[in-house]
Amino acid sequence: MANELQPGDMAPDVTLTTPEGGTLTIAQLRGRPLVLYFYPKDDTPGCTTEAKDFSARKGAFDLAGVAVIGVSKNSPAQHARFAAKHDLSIGLATDADDSVCAAFGTWIEKSLYGRKYMGIDRATFLIDADGRIVRVWRKVKVAGHAQQVLEAAEALAAT
């Protein structure tokens, strides 16, 4: 992996595109903890389940003072449709040029039926209020993941 970020590293100050077409930087989000999770594609079974699981826990993340943003290459319009279709309450962001995924080391070579291609590796980063990475989950399995992240976020908020 080109950029293997570890706990203790500063989160790269990348620019995200919101479903409304605006932009948001990691630096603008400082002051409160952030969960930044990367997923391959809107409206696929695993990605939909993951987004719904994070949305179901949004109230608990809010109580802990932690923002949650899911990142994929889908366009802002696709994100808006995805969020509306599944009543998602978490933030979504677009990485149209692969720069965000590259900075976080989630843009990787994958293989399916012997065919190699570039894609997003499902990964999650818990970032503290100062912009430092506290926890990294790579090769995420969707089942139970949002709950694990919530527990880590609540532990961070309690410190």
Beta-bridge partners for 110: 117
Q: Average pLDDT, stretch 24-42?
A: 94
The CA distances from residue 93 to 73, 76, 79, in Å, are: 8, 7, 8
**Residue 31 CB coordination number (10 Å):** 12
Q: What is the mean pLDDT of residues 21-25?
A: 90
Mean pLDDT value of segment 75-82: 94
Asked if residue 1 has pLDDT above 80, the reply is: no
The pTM for the full model equals 0.93
Cβ atoms of 131 and 27 closer than 8 Å? yes
Nearest 5°: phi and psi at 154? Answer: -65, -40
Average pLDDT over residues 17-26: 90
- The 10s digit of each residue's pLDDT in 129-148 is 999 999 999 999 999 999 99
Catalytic (active site) residue 47: yes
- The contacts found for 56-60 with CB under 8 angstroms, 24 or more apart, are 56/146, 57/146, 57/147, 57/150, 58/89, 58/90, 60/150, 60/154
Average pLDDT, the chain: 93
In the chain, what are the domains? 15-158 (3.40.30.10)
Selected residue with higher pLDDT from 1 and 105 = 105
The dihedral of CA 86, 90, 96, 102: what is its sign? negative
2: pLDDT confidence band, cut at 50, 70 and 90? very low
> Where is 101: in which H helix or E strand?
helix 99-104
Q: Of the residues 34, 35, 36, 47, which is catalytic?
A: 47
Length of the chain as a residue count: 159
Whether residue 42 is predicted with pLDDT greater than 80 in this model: the reply is yes
Mean pLDDT on 48-71: 97
Report the pLDDT value the prediction gives residue 3, as an integer from 0 to 100.
58
In this prediction, residues 27-50 reach a mean pLDDT of: 95
Percent of the chain having pLDDT more than 70?
98
Res 113 pLDDT > 70: yes
Query: How many angstroms separate the CA atoms of 87 and 105, rounded?
Result: 29
